[in-house]
Amino acid sequence: MPDNVYKVIEIVGSSATSIEDAVERAIARASATIHDIRWFEIVSTRGHVEDGKVGHYQVTLRIGFTLTE
């Protein structure tokens, strides 16, 4: 197994549908500009309430990606 060096950044995904959708959207968007994403970690979950109902979900993620030469 080669020795790798990783960078970790924090991003926030949002969705009106679900927590899982917020994660999927965040990873998909990050993948458009960040290559070699290897893992993610959910740091926090929160939401916005509108008229007594969940308006949308927000999920803070740490994502790790391989630094290349």
Distance of CA 27 to the CA centre of its chain: 5
Tokens of 23: 């994660």
User: Residue 2: is its pLDDT beyond 80?
Assistant: no
pTM over 0.75, yes/no: yes
- Whether 52 and 33 have beta carbons less than 8 Å apart is answered as no
Specify whether domain 6-66 bears CATH 3.90.1010.10.
no
Give the whole-angstrom CA distance, residue 16 versus residue 47.
9
Give the three-class secondary structure for 58: strand
DSSP H/E element including 24 = helix 19-31
Q: Where does the pLDDT of residue 63 fall: very low under 50, low under 70, confident under 90, or very high at 90 and above?
A: very high
